[in-house]
Structure 1
Amino acid sequence: MRLCREFYFDSSHFLPNYKGKCETMHGHTYKLEIVVEGEIGNDGMVMDFHKIGDVVEKEVIDKIDHKILNDIIENPTAENIIVWVRGMLDGKLPLYSIKLWEGKGKWAELVCR
């Protein structure tokens, strides 16, 4: 069984060694989807949605919301942000996948299992 929580954060970044609009500082409202996987326990849940939220807020959102991503991730492409998110959550949640939306209609996804 899989569960998904969505999170939103606003951050700015630029892409080094890139020619085009993204080479200068700009911002996005990102949508982050965290999918966990597991068996239904005796309590009838795979995991409490609040626990997923607490972990993601503490380990990810609090560190990147309203921040300059280049101060945290050297080359903050959507792909590299997802790799960073996985590193922050690895071992803390039973991750199935991570999807990051960089505005409307543009996303990257990492299947973790």
Structure 2
Amino acid sequence: MILIKEFEFDAAHNLIHYHGKCERLHGHTYKLVVKLEGEPDHEGMVFDFVELKKIVKERIIDKFDHAYLNDIIEQPTAENIAVYVWNALYDVLKRDNCRLYEVEVWETKTSGIVYRG
């Protein structure tokens, strides 16, 4: 089974190693999708949605929401944000019955990245 939880945050960034309009300061309403792969445990759940929300909020959303992402990630492309999120969540979400499967980071409704470690 694949468990899916979506999050949203607003943040600004500029791409310092890029030549084009995105090298200038700008912002996005990002969509973050966290997916876990596993089997239901003795409670019948792959992972508790409430616990997942709390973990992602503490480790990612509280840091990224209304932040200047360049203060956190040197070159905050969607790709690098996805790697950061993966690294911040992988160990803490690992259980006997499940593990982090995939992270999606969407900068716009039509542009995003999928990362699987």
Q: Distance in 2 between matches of 1:75 and 1:17?
A: 7
- State the match for 2:96 in structure 1: none
What are structure 2's unaligned runs of at least 5 residues?
Answer: 94-98
| Residue 37 of structure 1: how far off its partner (Å) | 1.3
- State the match for 1:41 in structure 2: 41
Does residue 1:103 correspond to 2:108, yes or no? yes
Helix, strand or coil at the partner of 2:58: helix
TM-score normalised per structure 2 = 0.93
> 1:69-113, CA deviations, whole angstroms, 9 ceiling, x for partnerless residues?
00000000000000111111121112000001101100100123x
Structure 1 runs of 4+ with >6 Å offset: none
Helix, strand or coil at the partner of 1:51: helix
- State the match for 1:90 in structure 2: 90
Helix, strand or coil at the partner of 2:91: coil
What are structure 1's unaligned runs of at least 5 residues?
Answer: none
TM-score normalised per structure 1 = 0.96
Identity %: 49
Q: Distance in 2 between matches of 1:41 and 1:19?
A: 49
Q: In angstroms, what is the RMSD of aligned CA positions?
A: 0.8
Question: Would you say how many aligned residue pairs link Structure 1 and Structure 2?
Answer: 112
**1:30-69 superposed matches below 5 A:** 30-69=30-69
| Residue 17 of structure 1: how far off its partner (Å) | 2.3
